[in-house]
Structures are given as structure tokens and as C-alpha cells.
Amino acid sequence: MSAWGRLSRAPHEVTRPPFLDDAAALIRTSGAPGTSRLVRGLGRSYGDVCLNAGGPLVVTDRLDRFQSLDLAAGRVRAEAGMSLDRLLRVIVPRGWFVPVTPGTKFVTLGGAVANDVHGKNHETAGSFGAHVDKLGLVRSTGESLTLSRDENAELFAATIGGLGLTGFIAWVEMTLVPIAAARLHTESLAIRDVDDFFRIAEDSRGWPFTVAWVDCLAKGRDLGRGLFMRGRWAETGDLDVHRPPRLGFAPELPGVLLNSLSMRAFNALYRKRPFAVGACTQHYDPFFYPLDALANWNRLYGKRGFYQHQCVVPFPAARDTVVRLLETTAAQGQGSFLAVLKLLGESRSGGVLSFPMPGATLALDFPNKGESTRRLLATLSEIVLAAGGRLYPAKDAVMTPEMFRAGYPDWRRLEAWRDPAFGSDFWRRVTGDAA
Amino acid sequence: MSAPSRILVLGASSAMAQAYARRRAATGAAFLLVGLNAARLAAVAADLRACGAPSAEVATADLADPAGIGAHAAAFRARLGEPDEILIAYGELGDQAESERDLDAARRAFDVNFTSVALWTLALLKDRPPQAPLALVVIGSVAGDRGRASNFVYGAAKGGLDRFLEGLAQAYAATPVHIVTVKPGFVDSPMTDAIAKGPLFASPDAVGADIVRAVEKRRRVVYTPWFWWVIMTIIRHLPWFVFKRLKI
């Protein structure tokens, strides 16, 4: 089994229970006594939060059933393995959408809770967990609990963004948002530099969905140039659902193609493509999920896989820190296809280990070129740490224990609620002996 | 073809049955779901109601037990109303080596995969109003197309079922009863979890979509995914002196 970044490949004792009762039994019994187990959804996290090398891994892809759907109130309760892909297929034609969505619909509800994912509307809507009303949690003792802000509130807060360590998230109940059409009015504006980004972001307060793509190979005066995208739901139009991915399987590109020249060419083409700048009304699928059109796009980074650095750095130093991060990346010339820059607001989910905080978040992909890539990632991490920021566990494969504890000072609260029979490669890496 | 209104599913917690039922639920079909485990059937029923089924009820029965079939069939038909679609999806891969050692295991494989299924079709067709349209869909297997050393007990049950349904379909050819034999290849379902999975495995959802198409197009036999028709045509035509050496 690998994570989305395909950096490692390790054997796991994989099981895929078809029903919740099988899953609960596996949570109680799987693995040799003393080995920790982990539950995984669709494995879209990049680093090692979804890995448990050599140990039991209970995969929830078959636990994808609705338990109830109230189309009048916009409330859904479903098994934790339900993907946003399936959820949207059912709710969009009936005029509902998820209140928060990450950049892919191939994540499960359980994974979205465990990583407290955020989306383009974080400033106004908060992260995924802010919209979750209740959770079903099965502990390794066999105990089955209902968690909410009123019931087992502390365990609820630990489970939101709790990286699946508090037990098996069996089901998720959440509130949906009404939509009038499956389309958004969107605008795309050219950004000249980092200051331009912050200016346009400030001007875009009336737009619920915002994100910027940045050419991370541009240097000097052009540092931070890119495109700013903003959108809002359209008031009229069809309620048609998305289609399956157009290209089923991406090729594994040889590493030699992933050089600064090809990245430069890609970035230039992306910025200068026809209709790169302008306003339009588009379906939610290309707006929210541009990469979903190509299944397994992670294979494009070749056999050795890729790293992603995603950090959040707080105001007021956010602008200067972003400049420093982009300068460092551009100087190394190790840039990536797409760098994403966006402002985050208050974390409203209450998750103990939630990633978002008010500031700017920057996400950079790097094909794995070994030691030089890891050195660059370490340099970037130091800049983030010095600025009082932190890295996103769902994307991370390199964070040191020091960095983790500095970024997440409340981590012991999660450790206290962790199911003693649960663990992950990530958790062992960042807590080390301290856990 | 208008959307079916009443569907009886035997073996409703199987992966293929769920995938098929979800697609039918979206067109407004009502269900009676039959299987062994009430809690699991209830989970499937709740899912189908969310997908658009106006009703999805459940009933438990040991489908493989030939003794109860007559009474159960009558009760299900009374409870749901005469179904216009029936899916028989239960089955058991069994263990070839165990079946060769243990006659009870072999008999069980025949009972589950052939005897009971054949009896269910007879019981469900008995005394139907002659003008009432029905799609009777039975999940067979590519394993029934040729007897192979690695699974000829299961294969013989599915092969016998294939012959039985062929004859039944001929008997009903001039009636509004349409009989479909579905022959899946490898499907990524719990039934095959003991086998190492490879690129030939199809998702239950892909099979569900193929079944919907087969019913709509009134196909007699459908291989799913389609490439199994090619593979099995070759395997069926291999001469014995080649076939006997194959390790399949």
C-alpha cells in the first residue's frame, strides 16, 4: 500500500469490510496483540497519515451507504466510507451540495473528518468539521459511541482532524447547503506578484470561493505571478451531476521529464492558455475538481513519487513569509506543476488538531529527487516554523517531531484521546517516544 | 421501457445486487430485499431509500435451503405485489479442494449455486398472470462455461444453471417474461477477497451498469465486463489436447 504521494510501498494487512458490523469486529480483533491498527478511506492523503506499515489497515471503500437523507432539511447521515463523488451524485440533482469540499471528490466522509479538510470557501465556511453534527465512533474495546458538540464533546473535538486515531469513524452526520444550479459564476484574474495576490484577495471578500495558482518558478519582479480564481453559486441553471473521469489512467512519466524546463513550459502554458483570464459560468466539476478529470494524476510524478509541502502562515507576517517560501522554491528550480495560494480564516470546526488558522496557505508539489528535495523541504519548513506557521499532516511526509509539536501545541490532547490500539506511520514519526 | 416499479432481490446484500439496486432506486423502483442478515439488509434498504426508492422492505430467509422456497416465494410475492423484476444474486464460491474431500461441502455448493436458484425461479414463475411483464435476472458466472480443474464444483453448478435458464427462457420465449443470465468475470467483491486481485477485476458498479443495460436491451446472456465474452469464446473453443494442459 502507498499513500497518494507514492513515496513508499509497504505491506499492510488490508481488509475491506462490506458492512459496519464486520468493520467493528475487525477494529476489535485485527492484528497481533499489541500491534496498532488504522482505518483508511480512499488513500488521498499524500504522506503517511493513511499508512500503518506492517500492521492492520481497515479500508472503508465498501462502507459507502446512506443511512438517512432528509431532503427538506438538507441533512445526511452516511457510512464513513461514502465518497463525496457518490454523495454528490445523489444530492446535486435534488439541489444540495456539500458545505465544504477539498480539491478532489474522491475522498471519503470519514477521511474528510479525520483530516478536517478545507476548501476554497474556508474564510467564510470554515473547515469540513464545522458542518459535521454527529459522528459514530467505534473504539477497539467494542464500545460504540455517538459524538457531537453536546455528547462526548471532547472526544468529538479530538476526532475532528484527529487523523483517525481516536477509533473507527463509522458514520458521519452533516448539514448540506442548498444550491439553485450545479454551476458557479467564476472570474479569473491575472496576478502580477505576491502583493497583487493579497490585494485581489482583499477585493474578493464578496466571493465565497477563492484560490490562486502561482507560477512557483517565476523569480524577481515576477515572484508570485499567477492566476486568481473566484466563484459563487449561480442562481439559475441545471442541476446536472459531474461525469466520471475522462482519462482513466495516467501514465507513469519517467523522472527525466520532470525537470525545470518542462515545469517552466507547463506553467507558462497554463498561465497563457486561451480564456485563462476572464469571467464565465462553469460546472462545479472543473471549478472544484480540475484534477479529477485525470484519474491517478499522481502517477505523472514518476516511480519515485512526490512530496507536497502545504503550510499555513499566520497574519501579519503572511505576505513576507510567502515571499520567502516562493523565493526559496524558485531559487532551487525544483518547482512543480501547480502551486496553490489561498487565504484561510478562523478554524470553526473546534478540531483539536485541525490544520487551518487565519493566514495564508501555500501548497507546492515536488517530484521526489531524493536528498535535494528533502533539503529544500526542510528549508521551507524552517521558514514556516520561524513565522509561527505549521504544516498540513494530510500532505506531509517530512515534518520533524519538533516542527509538529511547535505547530500543534495541543497534540497531547489528541494523544490522550487516541484509541490505544490505533496508530499510524505519521503519528509514530511525529510523536516518536513522546507518545 | 418504463421504469420497473417492484423489484424482488434475493441475496440483496451482495455487492453486485447493491450496485444494481442503487441504479434502479434512482429511477423510482420499490424493493423487497431478501437475505440472511436483517441488520445488513436494513443498511442496504436505508441506502436505497436515500437514492430514491419510494419503499425498500426487507425479509430474512436462508435462500439456499430448498425446503423453504415454495412458501417463501408465495409470501414475498404477496408482500411486494407481483414483481416486474427479480434479481437472484446470491452465491458462494466455496472451496474446490474442500468440496473434493467433503461431500457435504460439495452438496452445499450445488444447493446454493444451482438447486436452490433453479427452484426459486420455478416458484416465482408459478401461476403468474400470463400478461404480466417480468425481467428475471440471474447471476451466473463465466466459471460455468467450461469445467476447469481449479473450480469445477462451483463451475458445474453455474454451468447447470446456465443450461436450466436457457431452457426456461425458451419455454417463456413467447411470453412477456424475459430471462437474463449474467456472467460476470472477476468482480472486486467480498466473495473474491481471498484471491489476489489484478487488472481483470471489475467493480461491482460496472457490473450493475451492465445488468441495467442487459435488461433494457432484453439480452438473453450477458458477459460482464464485455471482454469476458472474448476470453470465454476462446476458452470454450480450445481443443481438448490444449485445454487439458492449461493451468486455469
Amino acid at B208: G
How many domains does chain A fold into? 1
H or E element, residue B72: helix B69-80
Do residues A307 and A377 lie in contact, with contact meaning Cβ atoms separated by under 8 Å? yes
Residue A124 counted as domain residue = no
Q: Find the range with the poorest average confidence among A287-301, A417-431, B27-41, B167-181.
A: A287-301
Q: Tell me, yes or no, if B47 comes closer than 8 A to chain A by beta carbon.
A: yes
Q: Which residues of A touch B50 (CB under 8 A)?
A: 66-69, 76, 90
Residue A32 counted as domain residue = no
Residue A252 counted as domain residue = yes
Identify the pLDDT of residue B199: 85
Residue B248 counted as domain residue = no
Q: Residues B145-169: what's their mean pLDDT? A: 96
Question: In this complex, which of B43, B50, B52 lies closest to A19 when CB atoms are compared?
Answer: B43
Residue B109 counted as domain residue = yes
Q: B199-205: list long-range contacts, CB under 8 Å, 24+ apart.
A: B203/B19, B204/B15, B204/B16, B204/B18, B204/B19, B205/B19
Q: Tell me, yes or no, if B40 comes closer than 8 A to chain A by beta carbon.
A: yes
pLDDT in tens, B66-113: 999 999 999 999 999 999 999 999 999 999 999 999 999 999 999 999
Sequence-ordered list of residues with C-beta below 8 angstroms from that of A171, at least 6 positions apart, any chain:
A20, A67, A77, A78, A79, A80, A135, A136
Residue B1 counted as domain residue = no
**Beta carbons of B44 and A66 less than 8 Å apart:** no
Distance from CA of B188 to the nearest CA of A (A): 10
Q: Which residues of A touch B190 (CB under 8 A)?
A: 16, 18, 62
Q: Which residues of B touch A16 (CB under 8 A)?
A: 190, 193
pTM for this prediction? 0.94
Residue A228 counted as domain residue = yes
Q: Give the residue numbers of B annotated as catalytic, written as ranges.
A: 154
**Beta carbons of A62 and B15 less than 8 Å apart:** yes
pLDDT band for position B248 (50/70/90)?
Answer: confident
Distance (Å, rounded) from C-alpha A87 to C-alpha A131? 15
Quick one: closest CA in B to A65, which residue?
B47
User: What domain range includes position B113?
Assistant: 6-243
CB contact residues (below 8 A), chain B span 79-138, against chain A: none
Q: Which residues of A touch B43 (CB under 8 A)?
A: 19-20, 65, 67, 79
Would strands A132-138 and A144-148 be described as parallel, antiparallel, or unpaired? Answer: antiparallel
Question: In this complex, which of B13, B47, B193 lies closest to A66 when CB atoms are compared?
Answer: B47
Residue B193 counted as domain residue = yes
Q: Tell me, yes or no, if A73 comes closer than 8 A to chain B by beta carbon.
A: no
Q: Which residues of A touch B24 (CB under 8 A)?
A: none
Quick one: closest CA in B to A69, which residue?
B50
Lateral strand order in the sheet of A13-15? A13-15, A56-59, A38-40
Identify the pLDDT of residue B1: 46
Distance (Å, rounded) from C-alpha B52 to C-alpha B158? 33
Q: Give just the sign of the alpha carbon dihedral A130, A135, A138, A144.
A: positive
Substitution target from B16, B23, B24, B51 for chain A, most A beta carbons within 10 A: B51
Size of interface A-B (CB pairs under 8 A): 39
Residue A321: exposed, middle, or buried by beta-carbon count in 10 A (0-12, 13-18, 19+)?
A: buried
Identify the pLDDT of residue A434: 52
- Rounded to the nearest 10°, the torsion over CA B239, B244, B246, B248 is 100
Q: Tell me, yes or no, if A16 comes closer than 8 A to chain B by beta carbon.
A: yes
- Compute CA distances A330 → A217, A259, A262, A333, whole Å: 5, 13, 14, 5
Sequence-ordered list of residues with C-beta below 8 angstroms from that of A63, at least 6 positions apart, any chain:
A17, A18, A19, A20, A23, A79, A80, A81, A82, A170
- Compute CA distances A73 → A68, A70, A92, B7, B136, whole Å: 12, 6, 14, 29, 38
Distance from CA of B26 to the nearest CA of A (A): 8
pLDDT greater than 60 at residue B3:
no
**Beta carbons of A21 and B40 less than 8 Å apart:** yes
How many domains does chain B fold into? 1
**Beta carbons of A65 and B190 less than 8 Å apart:** no
Identify the pLDDT of residue B49: 98
What does DSSP assign to residue A131? G
Identify the pLDDT of residue A244: 84
Distance (Å, rounded) from C-alpha A283 to C-alpha A277? 17
- Tell me, what CATH number does A327's domain have? 3.40.462
- Tell me, what CATH number does B228's domain have? 3.40.50.720
Lateral strand order in the sheet of B177-184? B56-60, B30-35, B6-10, B85-88, B134-139, B177-184, B221-224
Residue A421 counted as domain residue = no
| Cβ burial A205-226 (10 Å sphere, 16+ → b, else e) | eebbbbbbbbbbbbeeeebbbb
Q: If we measure between CA atoms, which residue out of A116, A177, A47, A118 comes closest to residue A359?
A: A118
| Residue whose C-alpha cell reads 488538531 in the numeric block | A353
Instruction: List the beta strands (DSSP E) in B143-194.
Output: 177-184
Distance (Å, rounded) from C-alpha B71 to C-alpha B63? 12
- Tens of pLDDT along chain A (435 residues) come to 999 999 989 999 999 999 999 999 999 988 777 789 999 999 999 999 999 999 999 999 999 999 999 999 999 999 999 999 999 999 999 999 999 999 999 999 999 999 999 999 999 999 999 999 999 999 999 999 999 999 999 999 999 999 999 999 999 999 999 999 999 999 999 999 999 999 999 999 999 999 999 988 888 888 999 999 999 999 999 999 999 876 666 677 766 666 667 777 777 777 777 667 889 999 999 999 998 888 888 888 888 999 999 999 999 999 999 999 999 998 887 767 679 999 999 888 999 999 999 999 999 999 999 999 999 999 999 999 999 999 999 999 999 999 999 999 999 999 999 999 999 999 999 998 554
Distance (Å, rounded) from C-alpha B122 to C-alpha B116? 10
Question: In this complex, which of B15, B40, B51 lies closest to A90 when CB atoms are compared?
Answer: B51
User: What domain range includes position A279?
Assistant: 183-407
Q: Residues B199-224: what's their mean pLDDT? A: 95
Substitution target from B47, B48, B197, B201 for chain A, most A beta carbons within 10 A: B47
Distance (Å, rounded) from C-alpha A242 to C-alpha A233? 16
Residue B93 counted as domain residue = yes
Distance (Å, rounded) from C-alpha B18 to C-alpha B24? 10
Q: Tell me, yes or no, if B39 comes closer than 8 A to chain A by beta carbon.
A: yes
Residue A287 counted as domain residue = yes
**Beta carbons of A21 and B13 less than 8 Å apart:** no
